[in-house]
């Protein structure tokens, strides 16, 4: 999974309006992949967008709720067989996502479960006061 073909990195405010910047970064990433001849099929694209949106919302709404000046780093990359999103934020530690079950009515916590169901790997780590999220979606053949 080394040697990304395409990569886009962005920072956005850890506030609800910062989610606009995340979606702009995702748009730029998929456009860059297309221009590099490494287009991402729609099914993989919407899966990563959905998962990334949930993680970003979780960071904004929970981890950084008390840190209005905080910034979130997002790094998007396209490898030969996968697409990946990494997030870093200075917010409070987040617990591991719960079990795979998704309740029929959304409530606190469903976002992380949804994210997990959209990707092939969802990793979380806490190092030196920073939360690290890594989402990997293996790209499917058309």
Partner 1 sequence: MELAFEAHGNSTGVVVIHGRLDLMTAVELKTRLEGLVDEGWSRLVLDLDGVQFIDSSGLGAMIAGLRAARVAGGDCRIARAGEQIQHILHVSTLDRVLTPYGTVEEALVGYE
Binding segment (CB under 8 A) for partner 1, from list 47-55, 70-78, 85-93, 121-129: 47-55
**Tokens for 118?**
């959209």
Is position 31 an interface residue for partner 1 (rule: CB under 8 A)? no
Burial of 96 (0-12, 13-18, 19+ CB in 10 A): exposed
The residue among 1 and 98 lying less far from partner 1, judged by its C-beta, is 98
**Per CB under 8 A, which of residues 62..101 are in contact with partner 1?**
none
Tokens of 108: 């606190």
* Token pair in block for residue 83: 């697409």
Q: Does 10 bind partner 1 (CB under 8 A)?
A: no
Q: How far apart are CA 112 and CA 61, in angstroms?
A: 12
Q: Report CA dihedral (51, 53, 55, 58) to the nearest 10 degrees.
A: -140
The site map against partner 1 for 114-133 (x = CB under 8 A) is x--xx---------------
Binding site residues, partner 1, CB under 8 A: 16-17, 19, 23, 42-43, 46-47, 49-50, 53-54, 57, 60-61, 102, 104-107, 110-111, 114, 117-118
């Amino acid at each position: 999974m080394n040697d990304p073909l395409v990569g886009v990195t962005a920072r956005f405010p850890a506030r609800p309006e910062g989610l606009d910047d995340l979606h702009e970064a995702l748009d730029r990433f998929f456009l860059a992949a297309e221009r590099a001849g490494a287009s991402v099929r729609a099914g993989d694209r919407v899966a990563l967008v959905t998962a990334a949106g949930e993680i970003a919302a979780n960071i904004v709404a929970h981890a950084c709720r008390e840190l209005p000046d905080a910034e979130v780093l997002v790094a998007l990359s396209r490898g030969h067989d996968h697409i990946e999103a990494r997030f870093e934020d200075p917010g409070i530690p987040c617990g591991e996502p719960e079990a795979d079950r998704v309740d029929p009515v959304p409530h606190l916590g469903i976002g992380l479960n949804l994210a997990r169901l959209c990707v092939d790997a969802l990793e979380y780590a806490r190092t030196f006061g920073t939360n690290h999220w890594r989402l990997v979606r293996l790209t499917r053949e058309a």
